[in-house]
Amino acid sequence: MNKTMLLTAGLMTLALASPACADDGKSFPGNKLLLTNGVTTIEGTSGGGMATWATIAGRETDRSIGVSTHVTVIALPDYGWESHGVSIGIGNRIELSYARQNFDTRDVGAALGIGQGYKLNQDVYGAKLRLFGDLVYGNSLLPQVSAGIEYKHNLDRPIALAVNAAQSDGTDFTLSATKLILARSLLVDTTLRLTKANQNGLLGFGSAAGAGYSLQFEGSLGYQLSRRAVIGGEFRTKPNNLGLGETNWFDLFGAYALSDNVTVTAAYVDLGSIATFNDQRGAFLSAQLAF
């Protein structure tokens, strides 16, 4: 049994052992309003495509559990991205997540001397706790606020160190505030991320020159066209620890709930410069299955 299977089994065991499962003997009631569990980020947490939100994965209510799985692809001029993973929400309070990220360097791999079509790989293990507030209900001025942690295990340590990263593994910390203003059909999110990740961790963490943790910002704004459809944009700042011209990220997205359990997200993404190759703009497509 590989690490992914072990992690998934462990998450399921923890969730099923939780008192939250005891509600009427029904583990997956799925009573959240559509889209209020968010979609899945590239790190595997609930949120937008690029930005983490204070949402908790799954469609569970306060006394049940929920499960969400996803597959995401990003097509860029010089690179390709694929990620997949699973998240579990417990009592709409705790989120546990896992994602595998695969980054195809295509022709750039040969130019960088690591091999044609070389793929960089990373595992991301996440946990998030809703501290207070509610995304939808309660005081309209009080957002839902969650704190999160993401441990990123880079599977290409020699390459990370070769580009002068200080470590191949690292941990991000997030604090998110998210609110859906129903009267205006608006979703607003702001997230602070404490990180030393280079290109999300795919090029390691920090630098041999001493660059370490820095505070970065993630923001999202969405407009709900209907109970099933939302459009919006995201912005995410990035550190430039390695001096390779790493730039901020931006996207324009649309998400649609095909059913109560299936959501698809499409976006135009601008990832700027990646490993000195500029103008990395392209298409983002993600599918999520949630209960």
The pLDDT value given to residue 4: 44
Residues contacting 166, CB < 8 A, separation 6+: 196, 204, 205, 206, 207, 208, 210, 211, 212
Position 235 scores a pLDDT of: 98
From first to last of its 291 residues, the chain has per-residue pLDDT tens of 444 444 444 444 344 333 334 334 445 556 788 999 999 999 999 999 999 999 999 999 888 999 999 999 999 999 999 999 999 999 999 999 999 999 999 999 888 788 888 999 999 999 999 999 999 988 878 999 999 999 999 999 999 999 999 999 999 999 999 999 988 999 999 999 999 999 999 999 999 999 899 999 999 999 999 999 999 999 999 999 999 999 999 999 999 999 999 999 999 999 999 988 999 999 999 999 999
Strands 262-270 and 249-257: antiparallel
pLDDT of residue 138: 80
Query: Please, what is the Cα angle at 178 between 27 and 197, to 5 degrees?
Result: 95
Structure tokens at 90: 């417990």
Q: Domains, the chain, ranges and CATH?
A: 3-290 (2.40.160.40)
Looking at residue 28, what is its pLDDT? Answer: 57
Task: Give 178's strand partners.
Answer: 144, 189
Q: Which CA distances in Å does 199 have to 102, 169, 271?
A: 13, 13, 10
d(CA 249, CA 49): 11
Give the number of other CB atoms < 10 A from CB of residue 236.
23
The pLDDT of residue 21 is 40
Q: What is the pLDDT of residue 69?
A: 97
Produce one character per residue of 56-92: b if its CB has 16 or more CB atoms within 10 Å, e if not: bbbbbbebbbbbbbbebebebebbbbebbbbbbbbbb
